[in-house]
Amino acid sequence: MNTNSYNRNLNVASITRASPYPLRELSCDNCVSLLAFHALGVTNFESHPAFKIIGKKIAERCKGLLLAAKMLGGVLRTKSNPDEWEDTLNNEIWDLPTVENDEVLPILKLSYVHLPSYLKRCFAYCAVFPKDYEIERDELVLLWIAGGFLDGQKANENILKLGRKHFDELVSRSFLQQSSIDASKFSMHDLLNDLAKSILGGTCFSSGGSQVASNEHDVSSLEKTRYASFIPSWYVTSKCLKPYQGMKALRSLILVRDGSSVDSFFISNKVLHDLLTNLKYLRVFSLCRCDIVEVPNCVGDLKHLRYLNFSYTNIERLPESIGALCKLQALILRGCQMLSQLPKCITKLVSLQFLDIRDTESLQEMPLGIGNLNNLIILSKFVVGLEKGSQLKELKNLPHLEGKLFISELQKVEKVIDAVDANLLRKLGLTNLSLHWGEHLGDLHNHECEAQVLDSLRPHTNLENLAILNYRGVIFPSWLDCTSYSKIVSLRLWDCPNVMSLSMIGQLPSLKELSLKGLHAIRMIGFEFYGGKRPFPSLTTLEFVEMLAWKDWSPYAGRPKEEVSFSCLKHLVVRGCPSLVGTLPCQLDRLTKLEIHSCPHLKNSTNDDCNKEILKSLINQTSLTILTIKNLAEFVCFDHGFMSHLIKLKELHIEGCDQLKYLWQDGNEMLNLTCLQELTIVSCPQFTSFVARETEIELSCNLENMKLINCTSLEKLPSKMYTLTYLYIVGCPKLIRPNISSYDPNNNNNPMSQLESSCTRKCDSLTFCPSAKGKLATLKTFVIRYCEGVESLEEITIDSLKHMEIYGCPNLRSLPQFLPRLSHLTELSINDCQIENFPPLPLTLSSLTLVRCPNIETITSITSCNNLTYLSERGALEIIDSLPLPIRYVFLMDCPKIKSLPEWRHLTSLQVLSIQRCQNIQCLPEGGLPPNLRSFRFLECENMKQPVREWGLPLLTSFKSLAIDGRSMGGEGEKVRFPSEEEDEEDAWSLLFPSSLTWLWISEIRNVERLSDGLRNHLSSLRYLLISNCPKLRDLPKDGLPPSLQQLLIWECGNVKDRCSKHTGDYWPLIQEIPYIKIDWELIQ
């Protein structure tokens, strides 16, 4: 649900052809309740009678608007007596004039007025972000710190904690709201974004993609800009950034993605250099997710820089000039996968407080002297070095570290004293610690030394999350079983193959998540693991993964009757433990998800029939909602009565059980699963049917989704699947048909009467639709692929169908005769079929795809499809009749029988036209191309006789994209030289192409030797240029390519490759500003 700009949502709805659902205003009672909640933390005013009357009056001012009630509640939270509430109601801001339908604006202004001054600055800064932009808390706090909006240092307060406090206060007042998709991110309501922009006024500027300064910003006023953002398109050119170069007093520049922008973008080193050399007073610069590999040296000239963000870029190193940034407080290099080292000069950044190097897999070591940065608060990662790198002991000089710390390459620690000197015990702020040993060098490694190092890396008891990874010692440290670590909530012990025991972990009182993986030497888990009575009082998730020697899991904490209850456990995973014997613990009263995977030799110590025993232990798990069983040997079927206790089971997934033959002994077992909604069976080659005895079976009354994949022995489906809405069947070659003995055509009681989506693939024995006979009144999507036995689809009736796909059914000779009666069908796709007879198409059809259907010569009814917008035809038709007026996209490929094209000058909606490998087309229709065509691809049509000059391309005012080759240029391919007469260069380009062109691909023009200056001057909007297979091409325009160009690709044009070499080629000065250049698949920049 989105309560942002309604007009913008209407635009989105119109584009996606969805029907908008306008949210109604809150009722008066709901508004009062919401106001009371945000102001007093209660749902009504009954417990606060002094505020009841005035509260209702204020709620009436909200006029049922959700945002208004939340914002006013945030204002009133800080006011403790009714008189202050009365003052709020009578504030003069209510009397300010507002535009129509903008009743919330006075409330937003009132909320802003009541903000403390320190929060006003922080809120207003958020104007720099585009609408709907989501940001993490600490990311925004660091920007506030760099901007000088926090005064914590004056009071000797931790500035990061102060910023987080301000952030949380803005959230509590509803100025910021948590993302509904990612709980770690926050955004600002559209109207609040507008308010923040109005507060900053002309000091804030934003533009996006290829836009330049908007009409709201006179170029001369840009010198006043202090805070700016830029929303990039794929390629950022100097033209895009020109307004920013004039912002001489700019303090903050953020290149930022919004909801509609690209995932990453390109900018050349020269363009970036030219930008930064003009911005001498920058305090904040962010180039997050820019696809750059190097940073210009001039970044070291930004003496006032406090915040520098190159996260998720492809940089391999930072320039040494960065050492001159003596005021830099935050350096963000998160996700820089190619970064192999940090510069030595980083140790000169004495003001540095935040160094984020998470997810930098290539980083080999920390520079020597990193311990000199004793103001560091956040150091997300420390890579231990050898002789030339930083050693572990340098952590001792970083007493203020807090939050997360990942220490890697611990195998390089040669002296235990270095671990002692690191002094993690004194780092009170660390809450998340990961200790990782890298690849070991054979027998040279000392396991005893490694154990001593780990024991010396004891953290403070404030720790909340701990991970020990790839440790090769024999025992875990003694401090791990210390009950003083009462705050640990998550513990990961991964790939520690030599550890032989787990002691006392069960006594960690707050532990919620425990993951044990790759502990190959562990043989037993029992009393030593639990550590005493009532272990794991808070544990909700428990994982055992790839523990190869683990044989026994004792459920007893002491004496035999003291069975461990795991009172809070909800999620249990046992995966890849091939030696495990015994049963699962029985007292798992809250278990909701269970996964048993790849335990092929799981056997009970007293009964060889292990699978019954392990599954019997689940009989009393009445809380279980998800059950996953994978690779369980000797599992033939569920025991009688097994399902009767799984009364809450919603999802059942069985995979890789080679001996599974059926699920139940009789059909009544399934009826016990009244909550089951999803059933999946994958790669069970012996699975023949759902029940052991031949009988009709009715699936669970709530089963909605069923997937059957690679069950090569399955022959039939259940006879009654009345509630099923989604059916997916793949790789079941023996499946013949559903059991339809109960079908009565007079009552229309189809066993799949609620089915909405059916997908069937590689079921060769099927002779007709797998969804049985009869009327499928609710079916909307029908897909059948590579079912060689299907001969007919006539036995079903599908009134509500919207999407139909038929692929690779060679014995299907005709489409069903009911096709014209499908009054809701919008998409029809037929591939690799021998269909001979094509009935009339339904009038509702909007998309038609035909691929390799050689027996279809023409579709006579296509002109009557007045909703058809998309047509794709490959290797089929011989004749194309006139197309319907709404058609927008036409793709023709591999159609050698087509000799002429339909008249389409009247097709004013046609925007995209692609014709490829249609060898017998000799000319375009007499009326010319459609007038509103935007994209035209005409390739490999060797018999084209009509010259390009007669195509009329310059007449197309909306034309943007063209792809042509020498073979399809009407005989000009061998002659054209683009152009041949120098004095006619400008006219020649204007005769060939419209000036509106932004995307051009020219290929296989064998004799072209040069591209003339007409290209630069006439195609001034060109962004993408691809030149391929032009072996004689040697000259580019002497004045360079169009300055608008964002991407240049040259393939197999050998004479020009060396001339475009980076820095050394004579054409490099002409192309160096192009953000993206690739020649013969080699990325130049």
CA distance 626 to 1024: 51
| pLDDT bracket for residue 143 (50, 70, 90) | very high
Q: What is the DSSP-derived secondary structure letter of residue 611?
A: H
Enter the pTM of the model. 0.81
Read off the pLDDT of residues 614-637 as tens digits, 9 standing for 90 and up: 555 555 567 788 888 888 777 888
| Higher per-residue confidence, 645 vs 935 | 935
| pLDDT bracket for residue 988 (50, 70, 90) | low
Read off the pLDDT of residues 186-232 as tens digits, 9 standing for 90 and up: 998 888 888 899 899 889 998 874 344 443 445 667 888 999 998 88
10 Å CB burial of residue 783 (0-12, 13-18, 19+) is middle
| First-residue to last-residue Cα distance in the chain | 42
Residue ranges with strand state E in 538-638? 541-545, 552-553, 571-575, 593-597, 626-630
Mean pLDDT within 890-917: 89
| pLDDT bracket for residue 696 (50, 70, 90) | low
Query: What is the three-class DSSP state of 88?
Result: helix
CATH architecture classification, 115-211+223-363: Alpha-Beta Horseshoe (3.80)
Interacting residues of 275 by C-beta distance below 8 A, sequence separation 6+: 241, 244, 245
Read off the pLDDT of residues 850-885 as tens digits, 9 standing for 90 and up: 998 888 878 878 888 889 999 999 887 777 778 888
Mean pLDDT within 521-526: 91
Least confident segment among 533-547, 595-609, 914-928: 595-609
Least confident segment among 306-315, 561-570, 844-853: 561-570
* Of 70-84, 947-961, 977-991, highest mean pLDDT: 947-961
Q: Is the pLDDT of residue 65 over 80?
A: no
- In this prediction, residue 98 carries a pLDDT of 58
Least confident segment among 6-15, 87-96, 287-296, 441-450: 6-15
To the nearest 10 degrees (0 to 180), the angle between helices 117-125 and 137-147 is 110
CA distance 849 to 890: 10
Please say whether the beta carbons of 836 and 816 come within 8 A. no
Q: Is the pLDDT of residue 610 over 70?
A: no
Read off the pLDDT of residues 321-346 as tens digits, 9 standing for 90 and up: 999 999 999 999 999 999 999 999 99
Q: Is the pLDDT of residue 458 over 60?
A: yes
Residue ranges with strand state E in 826-911? 827-831, 847-851, 870-874, 889-893
Mean pLDDT within 491-502: 94
CA distance 351 to 394: 18
Least confident segment among 664-678, 838-852, 936-950: 664-678
- In this prediction, residue 700 carries a pLDDT of 74
Read off the pLDDT of residues 575-608 as tens digits, 9 standing for 90 and up: 999 888 877 777 778 888 888 888 766 543 333 3
Mean pLDDT, all residues of the chain: 83
Least confident segment among 59-63, 144-148, 539-543: 59-63
Query: Domain locations in the chain?
Result: 1-114, 115-211+223-363, 379-473, 829-946, 950-1085
CA distance 213 to 457: 55
Residue ranges with strand state E in 117-258? 135-136, 177-178, 185-187, 204-208, 227-231, 235-236, 252-255
CA distance 375 to 378: 9
Please say whether the beta carbons of 587 and 610 come within 8 A. no
- In this prediction, residue 750 carries a pLDDT of 62
Q: Is the pLDDT of residue 12 over 80?
A: no
- In this prediction, residue 140 carries a pLDDT of 96
Mean pLDDT within 677-694: 89
